[in-house]
Amino acid sequence: QQLAKNLFLSSERSITRKLKEAFLAFLLESRFTKHEILKLYLDRAYMGGGAFGVEAASQFYFGKSVRDINLSEAALLAGLYKAPTKYAPHINLPAARARTNEVLSNLVEAGFYTSGQVHAARLSPAKIVENRTNNSPDWYLDWAFEEVQRLAEGKGQYVLTARTTIDLGLQRAAEEALVSRIRSSGRALRARSGALVSMDVDGAVRAVVGGLDYGESQFNRATAARRQPGSSFKPYVYAVALENGFNPRTTVRDSSRSCGNWSPKNYSGGGGSGRSLSLTEALARSLNTVAVDLSLRIGREKVLEMVERLHVSGIRKSCSMALGDGGVTVLEHTGGYATFANGGKLARPYAIMELTNSQGEVIYSRERDEPQAPQVLTREVAEQLNTMLQAVVEGGTGGRAKLDFTNVAGKTGTSSSYRDAWFMGFTGQYVTGVWIGNDDFRPTAGITGGSLPAEIWQSYMSVAHTDMNIPTIPGLAPHPRQIEEQQRIAELKRTDPGLTSAPAGGGRDKRMSATTRDALKRLATALRKAAGQEPVRPEAPPARRTDTVTETRKASAETGPAGPAAPSATPGDPDRISPR
């Protein structure tokens, strides 16, 4: 029955699924021997760490073929079938060892091995290959596996190979940026958890960090945790306002408007200064009074319709809806902002580019099978909103997210009592969301979206962009540094007609020291002279990546769709929601 579920069914818990499982199990037993059924199961069951089947698991955990493992290693693998995530040795080695001992005892009781043989195996426990976890994007793979299950459902395929959107370089950079900052500053600021999602503007997810340590907790805070977005929700309200006759220069008043028995207050604690200001300034200063007033004037139903249009869920219709009343995931929230960065075209987060069966047939291709992204916001509205979000970074609450080489648009968010702190932002290339908080919803020590989350965002995005060939954000003029780079490229092409493509980089490759670059330039010149050619102008180092779509699986050539899924604070930030 377990094989039937892994091959043909989802992990849904229902009477109907159990009946199907029993029927399919009967068919398998009528057509295959017990030995064949066992082999099929062992070759396809999920065994933790993104590995499917005993061969892949043996390579992943031990660095060798299953044909070469000893008794203690075999017992460890056998113990994984019960709960692969719980007993995976790279996640919880003590639990894996305890489970291994249990399996060894069962082997003695069943008469397969003697007590002496098992005792010898216990004296030589399995050794796990070191540093595997450092190259293991578990958070991303857990989510991607769910996507594979969804896309492969009903296709009747046994073995699938998935080509994913992950960028391992960006994944490592994201983990480093988030984990290192929380480890160093989190204790003092009473923040013990966080999450980060980074994607292309079209929704191709490049990195997912669902917590600080996958070994301690496999709960994916990036894709499963719903947290109050605070003022980072306001751009959705402003987008509706722009659709209904407002523009970035529209004059609004900073004054509180009652909704039932509740009235919003700004970060300062007051109900507004009463002065008039532009819509752009109101968003840059993150005034709660203006956001609530807008939602009441244009209609909260329209705000709900907007977030549904952008596939952001979890928001409640309430008086404080404009301030993020409800809970959103980092993944969905980042996807919502990606639509702004995509010029108003819907950008739903995705992980899978292609699924291929064991015969090499493509059973799913995103390019072939998915429709063109619909224009869910007009280009004009997206461009207007982007100029307003740029003002948040240039002169508002998001100043710490500013990059010196390209434009940034984004928004800070802080929930009541400092329980959640967000920075959501994008360049013309990447959209990244950062959340900081605690799993038990305890307040942090005054962390606002404009402090630690913005700093983490800035640290990661500085590394993520490896060259100056960055598209412009819709509605914004190119950054001065990018204009300089375009002029540099034009000059190179003018002086060297044989140059068909200008070298990317503009000096932004983080991997090379100046000494290394100079040595490579001298070597290139020497080689050109040796070949009888004129010396070329020194070139900038190549970009870190040439192919942003990589195939990622762990020590396995097969992925089965139907198995169980592996499973410093600054005072005075006005984006915080006042207590209600």
DSSP per-residue string spanning 338-370: HHHHTTTB----B-EEEEEETTS-EEEEHHHHS
Give me the residue label for tokens 């509740």: 262
Q: Which pLDDT belongs to residue 540?
A: 36
How many Cα neighbours within 13 Å face the side chain of 324? Answer: 30
- Those residues with Cβ within 8 angstroms of residue 110's Cβ, 6 or more apart along the chain or in another chain: none
What's the rounded Cα separation, in Å, for the pair 308 and 452?
Answer: 29
pLDDT above 70: residue 564: no
Q: Which of these, 16, 135, 129, lies nearest to 64 by C-alpha position?
A: 129
pTM for this prediction: 0.72
What's the rounded Cα separation, in Å, for the pair 395 and 282?
Answer: 12
Instruction: State which amino acid sits at residue 122.
Output: R
Q: Which of 22-26, 448-452, 538-542 has the lowest mean pLDDT?
A: 538-542
How large is the average pLDDT for residues 316-345? 97
Maximum separation of any 2 CA atoms in the chain, in Å: 86
Element (H, E) at 436: strand 430-437
Q: What percent of the chain lies above the pLDDT cut of 90? A: 60
Is the Cβ–Cβ distance between 42 and 56 less than 8 Å?
Answer: no
What's the rounded Cα separation, in Å, for the pair 535 and 528?
Answer: 6
- Those residues with Cβ within 8 angstroms of residue 19's Cβ, 6 or more apart along the chain or in another chain: none
pLDDT above 50: residue 562: no
Residue 259, strand partner residues: 262
Q: Which pLDDT belongs to residue 3?
A: 46
Q: Which pLDDT belongs to residue 523?
A: 55
Going 548 to 553 to 557 to 563, the CA torsion angle's sign is negative
CA dihedral defined by 361, 366, 371, 372, rounded to 10 degrees?
-140
Q: Which pLDDT belongs to residue 138?
A: 83
How large is the average pLDDT for residues 164-187? 94
Is the Cβ–Cβ distance between 426 and 410 less than 8 Å?
Answer: yes
Element (H, E) at 185: helix 168-189
pLDDT above 70: residue 60: yes
How large is the average pLDDT for residues 53-70? 89
What are the distances in angstroms from CA 576 to CA 105, 337, 381, 568, 580?
57, 19, 26, 16, 12
pLDDT tens per residue, range 437-470:
999 999 999 999 999 999 999 999 999 998 888 9
Q: Which pLDDT belongs to residue 270?
A: 83
Q: Which of these, 230, 251, 239, lies nearest to 389 by C-alpha position?
A: 239
CA angle 331, 335, 339 (to 5 degrees): 175
How large is the average pLDDT for residues 381-396? 98
Q: What is the mean pLDDT of the chain?
A: 83
How large is the average pLDDT for residues 130-153? 78
Q: Which of 84-93, 257-266, 309-318 has the lowest mean pLDDT?
A: 84-93
| Band of residue 509 on the pLDDT scale cut at 50, 70, 90 | very low
How large is the average pLDDT for residues 14-41? 65
164 backbone dihedrals φ, ψ, rounded to 5°: -105, 175
168 backbone dihedrals φ, ψ, rounded to 5°: -65, -30
Top-confidence residue, 526 or 453: 453
Q: Which of these, 172, 161, 164, lies nearest to 137 by C-alpha position?
A: 172
What are the distances in angstroms from CA 115 to CA 21, 78, 120, 276, 506?
38, 18, 9, 84, 67
Q: Which domains does the chain have, with CATH numbers?
A: 2-133 (1.10.3810.10), 168-464 (3.40.710.10)
Q: Which of 54-68, 174-188, 319-333, 502-516 has the lowest mean pLDDT?
A: 502-516
pLDDT above 70: residue 1: no
Q: Which of 23-27, 40-44, 122-126 has the lowest mean pLDDT?
A: 23-27
| Band of residue 353 on the pLDDT scale cut at 50, 70, 90 | very high
